[in-house]
Chains A and B, each alone.
Chain A
Amino acid sequence: DAGVTQSPTHLIKTRGQQVTLRCSPKSGHDTVSWYQQALGQGPQFIFQYYEEEERQRGNFPDRFSGHQFPNYSSELNVNALLLGDSALYLCASSRWDRDFTGELFFGEGSRLTVL
């Protein structure tokens, strides 16, 4: 049973460029949340997708956008990269369930460095 997979694992971009990160959720999960984790900080909520729609959004600018596909996989896009966007980007999957247990399953993350 494959867990959450993310790609790429590492990437380096320059200021002003655009990046796309990808995530495949754990088998049986239909909800994907994206988090940004800067060094020494906790994960910060970017947004959440369910049924191909953005359901919740954190305090991130419009440069951060996403998409969810019919197979539940998801992409995170960041435009006009800034140095401050350098971080580990974590994808977390879960089931959209009123009896949510609180367990998010995280991928190993995509580490983005902006030069």
Chain B
Amino acid sequence: RKEVEQDPGPFNVPEGATVAFNCTYSNSASQSFFWYRQDCRKEPKLLMSVYSSGNEDGRFTAQLNRASQYISLLIRDSKLSDSATYLCVVNFGGATNKLIFGTGTLLAVQP
């Protein structure tokens, strides 16, 4: 079983759509979780952290279910500029911050 699993997509959605990405992780002791974004041929960049109570940043909402070891990202009112690969990231290292990335989910927002 992979440490962090994601549906690779691609997800093709029209502008304005709502799209949700899911992710599962194998290490129940993991304490911190993140979503990164990677544009084509660019380096990954932190999009947002994921907190136990759920958190929102504008059109983006992240949620965590520790019992199911499941993380989600919801994007509302998709924009063309949201087209990218979204990487689910789990800290497997505790204090040493060993970040493990999922395969990534490719999102293509169509005009």
Contacts and interface: CB of A to CB of B under 8 A. Distances in A.
A97 B43 CA distance: 23
A102 B45 CA distance: 10
Interface bin, chain B: 20 to 34
B32 interface: yes
Contact of B99 (A41, A45, A55, A109): A45
B49 A90 contact: no
Interface in A13-62: 31, 33, 35, 40-45, 48, 50, 55-56, 58
Contact of B44 (A40, A43, A44, A50): A43
A56 B80 CA distance: 38
Given A48-B96, A98-B95, A40 B8 contact: yes
B99 to A, nearest CB: 6
Nearest to A91: B43
B43 A42 contact: no
A41 B103 contact: yes
Contacts of B32: 100, 102
Interface string B80-101: 0000000101010101111111
B45 A106 contact: yes
B46 interface: yes
Interface in A77-95: 90, 92, 94
Contact of A42 (B34, B46, B91, B104): B104
A44 B101 contact: yes
A42 B101 CA distance: 6
A109 B44 CA distance: 10
Contacts of A103: 46
